[in-house]
A and B are shown apart, each in its own frame.
Chain A
Amino acid sequence: MRALAVDRVASWLPELGWRDWLASPEVGRPVAVFGRNAGDGRVELTAVLDHGVDGLAVVATRVAAGVPQPSLAAAAPGLAGFEREIHEQCGIAYVGHPWLKPVRAQGADSAAAMDAYPYYAVEGKPVHEVAVGPVHAGVIEPGSFRFQCHGERVLHLEIQLGYQHRGVERLLLAKAPGGLERAVPLVETVAGDSSVAHAIAFCLALEAQEPVSAEVALSRGILLELERVGIHLAGLSGMAADIAHLQAAAGYGRLRTVVINASMRLCGSRFGRGGVRPGACGYALDAEGRAGLANAIATLKHDLPAIDERFFGDLAVRRRFVGVGVLDMKRATEIGMVGLCARASGVRVDQRIGGIYEQFPLPSTTAATGDCWAREWLRMREIHESLAWLARVLEGQPGWARGPRTAFSPGRSRLCVGVAEGCRGEVVYALETDAAGDVVQVKVQDPSFRNWMGLQVAVRDNEIADFPICNKSFDLSYCGHDL
């Protein structure tokens, strides 16, 4: 949970310097890169960089609109997605970009654009193509998956998303004149299963000028960790169902209900909606609430080990997961993976530092192998770590009352960034104001935007029948990507 507010005027770099800066790995990991049509014939490009424990930094530059820019994606593949988005949103043509295709359908002719989408194709008689989606057999979100296969072996997978584009950034911008603090309910629906993480990142950006009290931070941390436990349990349950491991599917699924019901008792929503608000505690914690939460944690701590043992101790499960869908550390770093999927490949990226995590540290575990097994094992570990953390912060906690709704303004000529570690990774919100103090840009970034590329790379050379478990082990959000 981190926030940063910088003076917009002080962060400009010359165009060339900016490019060099971004392409060199020692300046820090790019967390988000985005653009904005300034309206004066120029496009403002902003990069949020992560310096680890030293915090976040922002660098920005201005380029002329309509002038092609050299692409950095070949040197730094992690930037490829950002360049595609800037190309789509600001019309900048990137020269030398490997695959400058649309990110999400935007504009009036979006349906036609999606139909005419140029999928990558592998030539050759023995190669066959399998198209999955955008409408799937289960009740899941739409996404189009195009496989190039040789027999059962996947040579290449291309994932095309964007079917759920709702124009979230535009909607948020439209809400700004009336006070962005009213936009939290909208933010909570950007990615429904990461409602809490999105709300926290948004509030952090909004409050970047005046950080909130430890009590408020704690109230958010509790909901965030509950959300993580709930979604990880759902992930494990789904993974078990995908390989027809009935008992783990039923067991993890049952415990997920315990967790999300605990969330509901705290703030009235099983997804933690309404529990986070700018500047104050979104829900009250009294003795009864604390006891209920402690009860839920006790239930989980009691029941989980038996299910874990049955699932992770099963040789058949090991056989299905080990060595399947491998994303090694080098690739994961290159792509710019974040969150659990990065940590499962040995990349230590975790935004659970600062804020409440400074007072109550949470160990960040990594796995080395980057396969389905590593991702599932890490899910299980993170559940236990979050539960232990929750138990620790609740100890002797006197509780708090629900706070009043407060009006917040990011200030004049500011760029405010909020970052929270959701169950999938870092959720980033950036708010930009002009000299008059009006919000001119709201940038939203879900971790799924960075991670879908990892799935495409990980399934190569696996058998196509293993794609569902690879997909489920990454457990990415469609609507979080599509915005």
Chain B
Amino acid sequence: MTTPLVVLADLAAFALGPILAVGVIQRTRSVWAGRRGPPILQPWFDLQRLVRKTAVYGHTATAIFRVAPWVGLAAAIAGGVVVPILGVAPLLSFPLDFVWLAYAWGLGRAALMLGALDTGSAFEGMGAAREATFATLVEPALFLVFGALSLLTGQHALAGLLAVQPTSGGDVFVWGASVAALTVVVLIEGARLPADDPATHLELTMVHEVMVLDHSGPELAAIQATAALKLALGIGMLAALLNPWSGDQGAIGLALGCNLALSLGLAVAIGSMESLAARLATRDVPRYLLGAVIAGGVALLGTLWQGAA
């Protein structure tokens, strides 16, 4: 049930969530490094600064390069409307909407990759190739998780899947494996460690960052907003999956409060993980992603056990 109040809250979360998610992660990293760190709202100030600038284009860049960031942002928003970011209700919900989410984001990624290739730079081509490889490997994980949760809950919409309340041991098994797989997917979608490093300056190791090297001004702002929005939505999804009151229409306040607390905790957890773990070698990333696929597969097989029991 989507009341006007929930819609307003969701819209607010769409606007503030991305900034806070990135801000909290940055602040957590600063604390671990023994520094004071930038203000929590620094990502917002960065976006404002970028929007004021004029974009610069390379000689080889065509319209694809200019359009790509906006397609990416539009796709992230369009896909995101089905995500119950606050654990209560999404803006929009329909059967099999998780397919919509996956492929809307896939479209955004394809646009970004085309924009990168459009520059004609060897770096950006390399980044696009890595992004494509990683995306190919996480997509099965995402669908295995959604499939498993769908079998477990009997629901076909994302909000329903994420509102799963594990009761039996089999439930917990499927749920736990799903959380593990989804965490990896969220970290990959958000271009975070240990597969990608948003803070690196090394062109040759970048994945997401190198694809956007040539972008500037408002278009760079759009790309950064896209990444932040996907991260915030991912965190919201994970929180909804963990939240014991997720989708509980009888306890909207409790569901919302719990989701916010869990989201904050997840952002701090991601920041801490990034501070304490080193980045994986590129050759090890496929193995890490395969772990997510296996976790998704385990979740799906777990539902069989659940059905037999």
| Chain A residues close to B by CB (< 8 Å) | 128-132, 136-138, 152, 242-247, 249-251, 254, 314, 316-317, 319-320, 324, 463-468
Contact = CB atoms under 8 A, between A and B. Distances in A.
Contact of B279 (A128, A129, A244, A464): A244
A466 B203 contact: no
B278 A465 contact: no
Contacts of B201: 137-138
Contacts of B278: 243-245, 314, 316-317, 320
Given A137-B201, A244-B193, A130 B126 contact: yes
A465 B204 contact: yes
B282 A129 contact: no
Interface string B13-30: 000000000000000010
Interface stretch (B32-40, B94-102, B291-299): B32-40
B65 to A, nearest CB: 19
Contacts of A316: 194, 277-280
Given A132-B204, A242-B202, A468-B202, A247 B275 contact: yes
B274 A137 contact: no
A467 B204 contact: yes
A93 B281 CA distance: 44
A466 B279 CA distance: 11
B199 interface: yes
A185 to B, nearest CB: 32
The residue in B34, B35, B281 that gathers the most chain A C-beta atoms within 10 A of its C-beta is: B281
Interface residues of B, number: 31
Contacts, number: 80
Contacts of A467: 204
A454 B63 CA distance: 44
A468 B274 CA distance: 20
B205 interface: yes
A242 B35 CA distance: 19
Given A128-B122, A254-B34, A319 B282 contact: no
A244 B274 contact: yes
Contacts of B204: 130, 132, 464-465, 467-468
A465 B29 contact: no
Contacts of B123: 130, 132
Contact of B284 (A130, A152, A319): A319
A246 B203 contact: no
A244 B122 contact: no
Complex A-B, nearest 3 residue pairs according to Cβ-Cβ distance, in ascending order? A250-B33, A316-B278, A465-B282
Contact of A468 (B35, B205, B280): B205
Interface of B: 29, 32-35, 122-123, 125-126, 193-194, 197, 199-205, 213, 274-284
A247 to B, nearest CB: 6
A314 B194 CA distance: 14
A254 B34 CA distance: 10
A246 B32 contact: yes
A482 B202 CA distance: 23
Contacts of B125: 128
Nearest to B275: A246
Given A152-B283, A317-B278, A468-B204, 12 more contacts: A132-B204, A137-B202, A137-B203, A243-B278, A249-B33, A250-B33, A250-B34, A319-B281, A464-B204, A465-B205, A465-B281, A465-B282
A471 to B, nearest CB: 9
Contacts of A129: 122
Nearest to B203: A137
Given A129-B122, A468-B202, A247 B284 contact: no
Contact of A247 (B33, B200, B279, B282): B33
Contacts of A131: 122
15 contacts: A128-B125, A130-B126, A131-B122, A132-B123, A132-B203, A242-B202, A244-B200, A246-B276, A250-B33, A317-B278, A319-B284, A320-B279, A465-B204, A465-B205, A468-B204
A306 B276 CA distance: 14
A244 B194 CA distance: 9
B200 A463 contact: no
Nearest to B209: A137
Contacts of B277: 244, 316
A246 B32 CA distance: 8
Contact of B281 (A247, A254, A463): A463
Nearest to A249: B33
A308 to B, nearest CB: 15
A225 to B, nearest CB: 27
A168 B202 CA distance: 30
Nearest to A140: B201
A153 to B, nearest CB: 10
Contacts of B205: 242, 465, 468
A247 B203 contact: no
A245 to B, nearest CB: 5
The residue in A132, A245, A246, A317 that gathers the most chain B C-beta atoms within 10 A of its C-beta is: A246
A243 B275 contact: no
B203 A463 contact: no
A468 B279 CA distance: 13
Given A132-B203, A468-B202, A137 B213 contact: yes
A316 B279 CA distance: 8
A249 B276 CA distance: 11
B25 to A, nearest CB: 12
A249 B30 CA distance: 12
A242 B281 contact: no
A243 B122 contact: no
A321 B200 CA distance: 18
A246 B33 contact: yes
Nearest to A138: B201
Contacts of B126: 130, 464
Contacts of A136: 203
B126 to A, nearest CB: 7
A468 B33 CA distance: 22
A468 B282 CA distance: 12
Nearest to B35: A250
Nearest to A320: B281
B276 A247 contact: yes
Nearest to B213: A137
A312 to B, nearest CB: 12
Nearest to A254: B34
Given A137-B213, A463-B282, A465-B282, A242 B33 contact: no
B281 A466 contact: yes
